[in-house]
Amino acid sequence: MRTTSRFTSKAVVNGVLVVGLLYTLLPMVFLVLAVCKTPGGILSGDVFSLRELDPLGNLRALIHEDGGIYFRWYLNSILYAGVGALVAGIVCAAAGYAFDKYDFPGKERLYALVLVGVLIPGTATALPLYLIASKIHLVNTVWAVLIPGFVSPFGVFLARVFSQAYVPGEVIEAARMDGAGDVRTFWRIGLPLLKPGVATIMLFTFAGIWQGFYLPYIMLSDEKLYPASLGLYIWNAQSSTEDPAMASVVFVGSAIVILPVVAAFISLQRYWRAGLTSGAVK
């Protein structure tokens, strides 16, 4: 009975893992095949066959669609996500470091507000951000998308955890005894020690901004300022209502747009894996 039970439990676990693997991989396989299919092959619903393949034709169609505006969107996404992740990494690291190493009136209450901010979804803050941006005349500008990405409550939370794990208080006290000011201590000692945490914050911020859709959707009306995610959404809507043949262009653009996020995760994995492990242990 025990042998049968063990065999059954292993079979169930392996079955669940196989289902999870298929659930994860099938959309990627579908995307890769759809990138290679002609518009007629996609519209026929026969995506998983190896007939009607024309990947180079689809790439040429993407390059020439709307005068090549896709690559303008792509550069916009790099600007929004790259600058936003860099500034957010430094700002969140400084805030988390301050919450960990300094005592000031209302510290825990202010930190509690930060934790509340972690629980609020981005879609709930998009409309208030739009109203604020309209008051200071930033709507339909690059800054309307850039500035909200500079601060992340979740990043501040992670930075405090990483500061507790990576920055010993004794080292800070030694720097102060040597005459280093607070700003110099942070830049010369705190920030280098927080490198795994900063890399983790930057990575998740980059992915969040890169995939973000709703904030650019309500902030921007000039298509030259669109990020790739919003531009592909507009094209997908057109393929559903006006030009079904654009489906192949949307699939090619969707495949290309995920490459920077994959590259960022691979290139920074030694930092963010160490950071997440430290945060979990802490």
The pLDDT value recorded for residue 2 is 53
Q: CA 158, CA 200: separation in Å to the nearest integer?
A: 9
Average pLDDT of 125-146? 91
**Is residue 72 pLDDT above 50, yes or no?**
yes
In this predicted model, which residue has the larger pLDDT, 133 or 55? 133
CB neighbours of residue 236 within 10 Å: 17
pLDDT at 272 over 70: no
Q: Are 197 and 162 in contact (CB under 8 A)?
A: yes
**Residue range 94-119: mean pLDDT, rounded:** 89
Name residues whose C-beta falls within 8 Å of residue 271's C-beta, 6 or more positions apart in sequence. 195, 196, 199, 200, 203
What are the tens digits of pLDDT across the range 21-69? Answer: 888 888 888 888 888 887 777 777 777 777 777 778 888 888 888 888 9
Q: What end-to-end distance do the CA atoms of the chain give, in Å? A: 42
Predicted confidence band at 280 (pLDDT cuts at 50, 70, 90)? very low
Chain mean position to CA 110: 26
Q: Does pLDDT of 243 surpass 80?
A: no
Above 90 in pLDDT, residue 103? no
137-167 pLDDT, tens digit per residue, is 999 999 999 999 898 899 999 999 988 888 8
Helices marked H in 37-121 — which ranges? 39-43, 55-64, 69-101, 107-119
Q: Which residues contact 107 (CB under 8 A, 6 or more apart)?
A: 99
d(CA 5, CA 11): 10
Q: What local confidence, expressed as pLDDT, does residue 42 receive?
A: 74
pLDDT at 173 over 80: yes
Q: What is the pLDDT of residue 264?
A: 83
* 104 three-class SS: coil
| Mean confidence (pLDDT) of the chain | 84
The Cα-based distances of 64 to 40, 52, 234, 237 in angstroms read 19, 21, 16, 19
